[in-house]
């Protein structure tokens, strides 16, 4: 298979498996999505979805969030891990949204990435899922699968994102990154990987990965 044929195979297989694509993090607007994505760093989406209702019951907008102290936020989000950093980030970005953006989440990568605790991946998720702007946020699943599928030699997520954007049509980025995440969780995890179930890797996988699996 040529690289283009492999790309087409990935697109078609994922479309078949995930014709409708659930969004992993529960939210109701751009602000609650931004907070949920920030909390998801080094934490499972399941855990985040258990904690955000507790936080949003007290504050689901920046104006209510800054009425809480960093310490109060930290207590609520503790189960998500990295709570000292994340609580400061949530309080700090809420303050900046009020002071600089009329309490609204800005619709640009630059403005989002200027907010405390918001990196490129978080900004990409918000831009794609809240505002429908084409983006390709690369998480651990996408990074792993793009390498397993021999579609990137990326040693880091920056390179993987570049390769993904080069290979896949822009109009499907927003759906595709979610489809790959779901596929990675269900069929091609890092641990407990069963190649028999993983049709994409079995068909187009990197030879070293396949040979390593057989051993």
Q: Considering the candidates 29, 45, 102, 121, report the single residue annotated as catalytic.
A: 121
Using pLDDT thresholds of 50, 70 and 90, give the confidence band for residue 213: confident
Q: Considering the candidates 139, 155, 207, 211, report the single residue annotated as catalytic.
A: 139
Instruction: Give yes or no: 121 in active site.
Output: yes
| Residue 215 predicted with pLDDT over 80 | no
SS percent in the chain: helix, strand, coil, step 5: 65, 0, 35
| Cβ atoms of residues 202 and 145 within 8 Å | no
- The structure's pTM equals 0.93
Q: For residue 96, give the H/E element and its range.
A: helix 83-101
| Degrees, nearest 5: CA angle 188-194-199 | 60
Q: What is the pLDDT of residues 49-70, one digit of tens each?
A: 999 999 999 999 999 999 999 9
| Residue 136 predicted with pLDDT over 90 | yes
Instruction: Give yes or no: 28 in active site.
Output: no
How many CB atoms are closer than 10 A to CB 193? 15
Using pLDDT thresholds of 50, 70 and 90, give the confidence band for residue 214: confident
């Amino acid at each position: 298979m040529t690289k283009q044929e492999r790309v087409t195979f990935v697109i078609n297989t994922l479309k078949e498996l995930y014709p409708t694509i659930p969004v992993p993090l529960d939210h109701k607007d751009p602000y609650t999505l931004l907070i949920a994505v920030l909390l998801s760093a080094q934490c499972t989406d399941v855990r985040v979805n258990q904690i955000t209702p507790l936080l949003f019951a007290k504050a689901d907008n920046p104006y209510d969030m800054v009425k809480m102290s960093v310490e109060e936020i930290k207590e609520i989000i503790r189960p998500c891990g990295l709570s000292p950093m994340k609580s400061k980030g949530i309080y700090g970005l809420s303050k900046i949204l009020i002071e600089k953006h009329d309490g609204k989440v800005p619709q640009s990568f630059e403005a989002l990435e200027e907010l405390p605790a918001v990196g490129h991946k978080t900004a990409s998720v918000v831009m794609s899922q809240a505002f429908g702007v084409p983006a390709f946020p690369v998480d651990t699943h996408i990074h792993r699968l793009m390498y397993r599928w021999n579609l990137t030699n990326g040693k880091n997520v920056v390179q993987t994102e570049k390769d993904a954007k080069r290979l896949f049509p822009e109009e499907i980025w927003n759906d595709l990154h979610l489809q790959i995440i779901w596929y990675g969780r269900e069929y091609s995890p890092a641990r407990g990987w069963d190649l028999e179930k993983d049709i994409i890797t079995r068909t187009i996988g990197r030879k070293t990965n396949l040979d390593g699996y057989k051993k």
